[in-house]
Chains A and B, each alone.
Chain A
Amino acid sequence: MLSIDRISEGYLILITGLLIVFSALLILVLFFKYGLPLLLYSYKIITKKRVIKIGKQPKKSNEEFTGEIAAAISTAVHLYLNENHDNENAVLTIRQARKLYSPWSSKIYGTHNRL
């Protein structure tokens, strides 16, 4: 009688246990499949700064900014960066490699000067 009770309880635990494990991981699956993208999307919307789209930009602001100005600015930047290249930091720090004694590199055991 006792053992039958035990085994029926065993079956109960078997079924409920498997169900719980499956449901726990299923919830995780559902969250990461649907919940997380939603979460990230809403986060993106919340933190997004107001950006004016290209099409909706007021045309007036563009009037003074001609291609020539753009070319002038980019040339200036280009020249400046080029110059930067020449003025590199001249201070070199060489990390000294610590060499511990090793018989492999020892001159005592060299082939030519045998002991």
Chain B
Amino acid sequence: MKKLFIIFGVLLFLLFIRPIITNSMEVQTSANTQTTKIQETATNQNNIYKGAYNALLKFYHYTGFANATSGNLLMILIGIMFIYLAIKFNYEPLLLIPIGTGIIIGNIPFVAGNQTGIYESGSVLNYLYFGVVKGIYPPLIFLGIGAMTDFSSLIANPKLMLLGAAAQIGVFGTFLGALYLGFRLPEAGAIGIIGGADGPTAIFLSSKLANGVNVLADGTTVKNLIGPITIAAYSYMALVPVIQPPIMRLLISKKDRKIRMKPPRAVSKKEKMIFPIVALLLTTFISPSALPLLGMLFFGNLLKESGRTERLAETARTKLIDIVTILLGVTVGASTQADIFITKDSMMIFILGALSFVIATMGGLIFAKFMNLFLKGDEKINPLIGAAGVSAVPDSARVVHTEGLKSDPNNYLLMHAMAPNVSGVIGSAIAAGILLSFLG
């Protein structure tokens, strides 16, 4: 270590000493010959100072201080706010901290053309962003989700699966709303999927439909809406505990909120193994476009349930999903570069996103009430669990659970709510597949 310091020290010394030596040599030779030369060296020295000043000025033009726009500063503030929300209120910290940091990284002002920014081809961030643009990360996340999800509550009470379908009305309702606001069909489809309350699905669909590359029939290219859609989806997912409870209280009477459901039956190992295979076959035969998502989801689940591949399942649900989440979070955050992100479209997407969560929650709740009309005795379901039909695993199930506890401290709804919750994931992936096959 000491030797290393000495070597570097000597090298630095030589570097510094060289201009001084050459200068002094010049001075000596000029002194020997003519006085005009002295003047020249004086101007030379002046030039050096001027050059240094110019270099500093040039450097200043490369810094963030010279290039900052109000948009950049605003986005950096938003990024800091994301991080604050995650740390202070524990709102989905695993997502909001990477995304918040990504927003800061993406909005550091820079001079274009040096392969720095996320949208400049060849930059490191651009390479990492490739996984988002081409929809590589979402299926990997789904693999992890599959390997950590327990479908047994769904197998025990299959009719709850319909609640996951009912909540998809949020997707299609928002799609229509976006059309009315003037978005074109593929863009509207990508915006609609925010209602699926599923981050990876939203990224997957927007990277296929609204990626800024596809050319429409009338010769225009679609807008790049991946950034705003993803940010909207993830921020509203983090805000599920704020958005859902008022709607639940509005739509479900106090009496209904107290309904106790009979505990789900025990599910055999065989059933759990058959589920991913059958569900994979049925859903992907109906909606083949959702294959990357559903295929990986059920593959991950089979790894978990087969009982023979615990190692693979363990990796998928811990290391792999963590790595992908880190990359996904940072790059999605960084894609919110102010000049591309702060537009009227983004604002509209944020409004539509909030609306889609409301519609989806309402759809689930009302359908649960509707189902109750046909169910009798202890078969009746607590309509609150309909709200878990929007995916947002497992946050919305947790919200349902806490709301149920508020009206009856001994009514534990978590396991029941997990059924529509996971079927919401399947439902939104199918919905994404349908939109993709119609509009892609």
Contact = CB atoms under 8 A, between A and B. Distances in A.
B168 A33 contact: no
B159 A27 contact: no
Interface residues of A, number: 28
B176 A20 contact: no
Interface in A37-86: 39-40, 43
B283 A17 contact: no
B172 A32 contact: no
Q: Which of A7, A21, A33 has the most CB of B within 10 A?
A: A21
A107 interface: no
A10 interface: yes
B194 to A, nearest CB: 15
Interface string B390-404: 000000000000000
A14 interface: yes
Contacts of A31: 158, 278, 282
Contacts of B270: 40, 43
What's the dominant secondary structure at chain A's contact region? helix
A7 B176 CA distance: 7
Contact of B271 (A9, A10, A36): A36
A40 B439 CA distance: 40
A94 interface: no
The contact size tier of chain B is 35 or more
Contacts of B189: 13
A29 B185 contact: no
A22 B165 contact: yes
Contact of A24 (B180, B185, B430, B438): B430
Nearest to B156: A32
A1 B113 CA distance: 43
Contacts of B162: 22, 25-26, 29
B252 interface: no
B185 A20 contact: no
Interface string B173-195: 10110011010110011000000
B352 interface: no
B172 A14 contact: yes
A6 interface: yes
Contacts of A20: 286-287, 430, 434
A22 B435 CA distance: 14
A10 B439 CA distance: 10
A11 B426 contact: no
B283 A28 contact: yes
Contacts of A18: 168-169, 172
B165 A17 contact: no
B155 interface: yes
B362 to A, nearest CB: 14
Contacts of A43: 270
B197 to A, nearest CB: 14
B427 interface: yes
B161 interface: yes
B158 A33 contact: yes
A25 B271 contact: no
Interface string B142-182: 00000000000011001101101110110111011001101
A43 B270 CA distance: 11
B155 A32 contact: yes
Nearest to A2: B218
Given A14-B176, A27-B282, A40 B431 contact: no
A17 B431 contact: yes
B279 interface: yes
Contacts of B154: 32
Contact of A32 (B158, B165, B286): B158
Nearest to A13: B438
A16 to B, nearest CB: 8
Interface in B199-223: none
19 contacts: A6-B179, A7-B179, A7-B180, A10-B188, A11-B176, A13-B189, A13-B434, A17-B172, A17-B434, A18-B168, A20-B430, A24-B165, A25-B165, A25-B430, A27-B286, A28-B158, A28-B279, A32-B154, A32-B155
Given A20-B287, A36-B274, 10 more contacts: A7-B176, A13-B434, A18-B168, A18-B169, A21-B168, A21-B434, A25-B164, A26-B165, A31-B278, A33-B158
